[in-house]
Structure 1
Amino acid sequence: MLDSLKRIFGNEKSGKVAKKRLQMVLIQDRASVSPEVMAKLRDDIIQVISKYMVIDKTDMEISLENVDDSVALVANIPVQNMRHHK
């Protein structure tokens, strides 16, 4: 029976992915930012931060939020370890 429910409602992972997609659509709509620009912004942030830290890209969340009369970039990036540069 549990397998039947999982097939009908999907697993937790697909729900998490759907939630992230919905959040991105809402953010883009509020900030008038295209999905392509948000994807490029995310890629650029990953590239820069990865020079200094080992990060968990799958649980990374980047959003644009309306704050008063401006838009704020909010990033939640799980750091797994620091990279040691000489």
Structure 2
Amino acid sequence: MLDFLNKIFGRDNSSSRNVAKERLRLVLVHDRVGVSPQLLQSLKNDLIQVINNYMEIDEEALEVSLDSSENQVALVANIPVRKMKRKFQTETA
């Protein structure tokens, strides 16, 4: 009952606790894999360039992270798509 009242009156600390827990988990995954924040940002920039050839995306909302489970690491990308492009665009040399 107390949890319910705390949520109603905006005193819910579980959400900030969960956010902090998730941030710590991401930091630990990055440390275990040996990926620097600069490398992850570079990867994100490269993904944006490639995906922009095929679709219009919300670059500000794009999220790229590494997820670890037991002995595997996965690259997780959340890429909001605004619209598909009708023509394939390539870089001109």
Class of the TM-score when normalised by the shorter of the 2 chains = 0.5 to 0.7
Q: CA deviation at 1:76?
A: 0.3
Q: Identity of aligned pairs, percent?
A: 43
The alignment covers a number of residue pairs equal to 65
For residue 82 of structure 2, what is the aligned residue in structure 1?
A: 80
Point out where structure 1 has 5 or more consecutive residues left out of the alignment: 1-18
More helix by percentage: 1
For 1:37 and 1:74, the matched residues in 2 are separated by: 15
Larger Rg: 2
TM normalised by structure 1 equals: 0.65
After superposing on structure 2, the runs of 4+ consecutive aligned residues of structure 1 that deviate more than 4 Å are: none
TM normalised by structure 2 equals: 0.61
**Structure 2 counterpart of 1:55, from 42, 57, 62:** 57
Q: Structure 2: which amino acid aligns with 1:45? A: L
Q: CA RMSD in A?
A: 2.0
For 1:84 and 1:68, the matched residues in 2 are separated by: 41
